[in-house]
Amino acid sequence: MRAADRAAAEVVGARGPLSVGQGGPIAATAASATVGLGMPGSGPPPDGPFDAHHPPDAALVGDCVHCGFCLPTCPTYVLWGEEMDSPRGRIDIMKGALEGDAFGASSVRHLDQCLGCMACVTACPSGVQYDKLIEATRAQLERRVERPRSERLLREAVFAVFPYPRRLRALRGPLRAYQAAGLGRLLARSGLLDRLPGPLRAMESLAPKLGRTRPLPPCVPARGARRATVGLLTGCVQGAFFPDVNAATARVLAAEGCEVVVPQGQGCCGALSAHAGREPEALGFAKRVIEAFEGARDGAGVDAVVVNAAGCGSHLKEYAHLLRDEPGWPERAAALAAKVRDITELLDELGPVAERHPLPMAVAYQDACHLAHAQRVRDQPRRLLRGVPGVELRELAEAEICCGSAGTYNLLHPEPAAELGARKARAVLATGADLMVTANPGCWMQVATTLAGMGERMPVAHTVQVLDASIRGVPVERVLARALDGPGTALPPVRPAGARPPRGGAPE
């Protein structure tokens, strides 16, 4: 680590060289990430790198003074030590493109490899709005860069399924049958699983255990005196694969005096699409969500829109920026965005009225990037967890480093995602906690699956599920058992018969 970088890291409280990775061993994916970048179908657009529709703002680009404070918190720089895979390096690429430099394959690769975790936004003393810059740049890449055919097909497949709750629900039946029949184990024994492309192997391993779903009613009445009327965003992956989290959210809100309205037909919020640069798609999703919540309670609306998935919450709070050019929509978008609260934000604002019963256990709280960095919600979930009698909260080392999920990143870039997942899993294990708690379905799947692949299956739950169990007086043994083997949990890894699980490294 250079002296300037070390000084910057000390100021923001980042880790030293060995624990962060700078000056230490370089990750296994460094060679493929930084050498022979190989995107054979990619090339510069014929008439310039950026079009006129919202290119990255030159003034925001100019805010970066290249101080290096971002370096120790950037996952890809931590992995590879490559300047162009740091926020300031990517900003240099954007600056060059604004000045007319054509996108080469390496430039596109460096920009694609950004996880969008926004840890750099937290670390930056100059207030650089990297979130706005990378989102604008990705929209340009999506329009202007011709990707290899295999990459285009993968992206189209991912975005044809994940933002559509009905399609995800349709997948539940075949996936449950696949899991019940043990077909994954059969594929592993035959060797076919190892022959699948990395993204398909990642999809297979990340699929959580599925249970029965019970749709939420359109309205859940408050218990006791009504303190607020809130709308609940049910989400795509959250609703299809983690329905227990939505059910727990509704129960806790009702117990705390909130009438919970679940708008029908709300659909995807557009977060995955927006973060990938698929702007027209994201605009359509956002408009439908706004209409759904505006129409709640026969058009009377709600006091707050509650979100229990970090990526969705951060995106909804940016609706006014997303819809700034759409005639008739900016005011409506701003009105909805002003009501958006993460579930922990709202509960912390309201203060507890429901009795908490003891849950004697140690909890490792893992900050979801889009909750901690994008929404700046850090203290609220910790206060709520500490408010449960018997809960001992334990912090993770390298809490600012992303787990590698990052929306669709672990599907599009499975190798570096696996390395980051292993890094996070080791940090969780080092706490010696009984339970890992997080606030995002992607983080849940990424870390739980990585732990299972390391031979260290561990109970994982959402913050609101811990609160729900405490309010309902569920015994701690049941809480931990369900968090290990209930719906949404990681399945034991599939391996050929006789294979020993790896310990302390990345999953197979």
* Residue at token pair 């209409």: 291
- In the numeric block, the tokens 């390395």 are attached to 419
* Residues recorded for the chain: 508
**For residues 440 and 368, is the Cβ–Cβ distance under 8 A?**
yes
Question: Which tokens sit at 242?
Answer: 């983690």
- Mean per-residue pLDDT, 82-101: 93
Is the pLDDT assigned to residue 446 strictly greater than 90? yes
Instruction: Determine which of 80-84, 85-89, 262-266, 474-478 has the lowest per-residue pLDDT on average.
Output: 262-266
Mean pLDDT of all residues in the chain?
85
pLDDT average, residue stretch 21-39: 50
Q: What is the pLDDT of residue 505?
A: 43
Residue 20 has what pLDDT?
Answer: 40
Residues facing residue 460 across a β-bridge: 436
The answer to whether 491 touches 433, Cβ cutoff 8 Å, is no
β-strand pairing of 228-232 with 258-261? parallel
Q: Contact 57/165 with Cβ under 8 angstroms?
A: no
Q: Which residues of 142-157 are buried (b: 16+ CB within 10 A; e: fewer)?
A: bebbebeeeeeebbee
pTM for this prediction: 0.86
pLDDT bin (cut points 50, 70, 90) of residue 378 is: very high
| pLDDT bucket at 301, cuts 50 / 70 / 90 | confident
Supply the pLDDT for residue 118.
Answer: 95
Crossing angle between the packed helical segments 343-350 and 379-386, to the nearest 10 degrees:
60
Least confident of 26-35, 95-104, 160-169, 227-236: 26-35
Residue type, 303: D
Q: What is the DSSP string of 61-107?
A: HHT----STTGGG-HHHHHH--GGGSHHHHHHHHHHHHTTPPP-HHH
Residue type, 332: R
User: Is the model's pLDDT at 158 over the cut of 70?
Assistant: yes
Angle CA(377)–CA(382)–CA(383) in degrees, nearest 5?
100
Do residues 250 and 326 touch, judged by C-beta distance below 8 A? no
Residue 177 has pLDDT above 80, yes or no: no
The pLDDT value recorded for residue 183 is: 67
Mean pLDDT of the 7-15 span: 45
How far is it, in rounded angstroms, from Cα 297 to Cα 309? 23
| pLDDT recorded at residue 200 | 67
The CA-atom distances, in angstroms, between 385 and each of 12, 85, 175, 388 are 25, 36, 33, 6
Per-residue pLDDT, 238:
87
Residue range 400-423: average pLDDT? 92
Compute the radius of gyration of the chain from its Cα atoms: 22
Q: Per-residue pLDDT for 278 more than 90?
A: yes
Q: Which of 46-50, 225-229, 293-297, 449-453 has the highest mean pLDDT?
A: 225-229
* Residues 398 and 423: beta-carbon distance below 8 Å: yes
Specify the range with the lowest mean pLDDT, choosing from 176-190, 286-300, 352-366: 176-190
Kindly list the distances between the CA atom of residue 163 and the CA atoms of 249, 268, 391, 506, in Å, as whole numbers in the listed order. Answer: 21, 5, 35, 28
Per-residue pLDDT, 501: 43
When pLDDT is cut at 50, 70 and 90, the band that residue 45 belongs to is very low
Q: 31-35, 72-76, 467-471: which range is least confident on average?
A: 31-35
| Residues sharing a CB contact under 8 Å with residue 299, sequence separation 6 or more, in sequence order | none
DSSP classification of residue 181: T
With a cut of 80, say whether residue 97 has pLDDT above it.
yes
Cα 134 off chain centre by: 16
Question: In which element (H, E) is residue 324 found?
Answer: none
Res. 18: pLDDT tops 50: no
Cα distance between residue 337 and residue 316, in whole Å: 6
Task: DSSP for 106-129, please give it.
Answer: HHHHHHHT-----HHHHH-TT---
| The pair of three-digit structure tokens given for residue 377, joined into one six-digit string | 């919600």
Measured from the Cβ of residue 30, the count of other Cβ atoms closer than 10 Å reads 18
**Residue 218: is its pLDDT beyond 60?**
yes
Range of lowest pLDDT (49-53, 121-125, 493-497, 498-502): 498-502
Of 365, 364, 393, the closest CA to residue 377 belongs to: 365
Beta strands in 219-281, from DSSP E residues, in sequence order: 219-220, 228-232, 258-261
**Span 229-255, pLDDT tens digits:** 999 999 888 888 888 999 999 999 999
Q: Which of 397, 401, 392, 372 is nearest to 435 (CA)?
A: 392
How far apart, in whole angstroms, are the C-alpha atoms of residue 251 and residue 432? 30
> What is the residue type of 108?
V
What confidence tens digit (pLDDT) does each residue in 472-497 have? 999 999 999 999 988 777 776 655 44
As a whole number of angstroms, the distance between CA 294 and CA 309 comes to 21
User: Which one is predicted more confidently, 147 or 359?
Assistant: 359
